[in-house]
Amino acid sequence: MELLMKPHRTPGMLITFCGLDGCGKTTMIRRLVEILEKQGCSVLLTKQPTDFVRKSRIFRTYMDSPDHDAYDYRSLSLLAASDRVQHSNRVIAPALAQGKVVISDRYFYSCLANLHARGFLRDRWIYEIARDIPQPDVAFFLDVDVDTAIRRVRGREEEKDRYIDVELQHRLRREYREMAAGRNGNLVPTDTSEEESFGLIWTAVQAILSEKDGGVRYA
């Protein structure tokens, strides 16, 4: 099924970043925010899912331990989807309406990728919900091999012993690569230098900024 979202038709611009843990989202976003702010753009940097879900017991159980049989994954998926609907429509959409450049560290795609990667391939509800949330102007999918991504995560002192479901990472990578081929998707390899990856991102963002000429708000 094709993932269709709602065109936002506002003066703002929505840029999302998805991909495996350690693929480089935060690194690329930091560079993008810096350069956009230097140009005087009004930027809202945000993250999905929000802390409401991140701090929940069901989310933590899935993230932090191999034993999560006590919880049905669909229940977490619905909780995360609810959080994304709320955040997309009550935080992101108003900022877009004000002409801001909104950058989201993860977006609805991550919800879908996880649902599929965990074997729920026939759930249509997630596509129905997606139709009512703002469609990004560009959705970046940062792509690196699973071993490298894991090495990067483990390289962080606080995550050196973190539980990682390696097989799941392989399935997620396949899902993200497939989604990158969809509407407004943009696959960016991050196995090269940061400069090279960021160059691809900045070229794509500049193209949209010039299309939106006069729309995006400058401070």
Ligand X SMILES: Nc1ncnc2c1ncn2[C@@H]1O[C@H](COP(=O)(O)OP(=O)(O)OP(=O)(O)O)[C@@H](O)[C@H]1O
Positions that interact with ligand X (CB under 6 A): 19, 21-28, 152-153, 190, 192-194, 197
Nearer to ligand X, 21 or 37 (CB): 21
208 interface partner picked from Mg ion, ligand X, none, CB below 5 to 8 A per type: none
Q: Cα Rg for the chain, rounded, in angstroms?
A: 17
Distances (CA, A) of 18 to 24, 51, 99, 209: 9, 17, 23, 21
Shortest approach of ligand X to residue 30 CB, angstroms?
A: 8
Mark 183-212 with x for binding to Mg ion (rule: CB under 5 A) and - for no binding: ------------------------------
203 interface partner picked from Mg ion, ligand X, none, CB below 5 to 8 A per type: none
Residue 185 identity: G
Question: How many CA within 13 A on the CB side of residue 215?
Answer: 18
Number of residues that bind Mg ion (CB under 5 A): 2
Nearer to ligand X, 70 or 166 (CB): 166
Question: Which secondary structure element, helix H or strand E, spans residue 138, and what is its range?
Answer: strand 138-143
Query: By the 8 A CB rule, do 68 and 77 touch?
Result: no
Binding site for Mg ion (CB under 5 A): 25-26
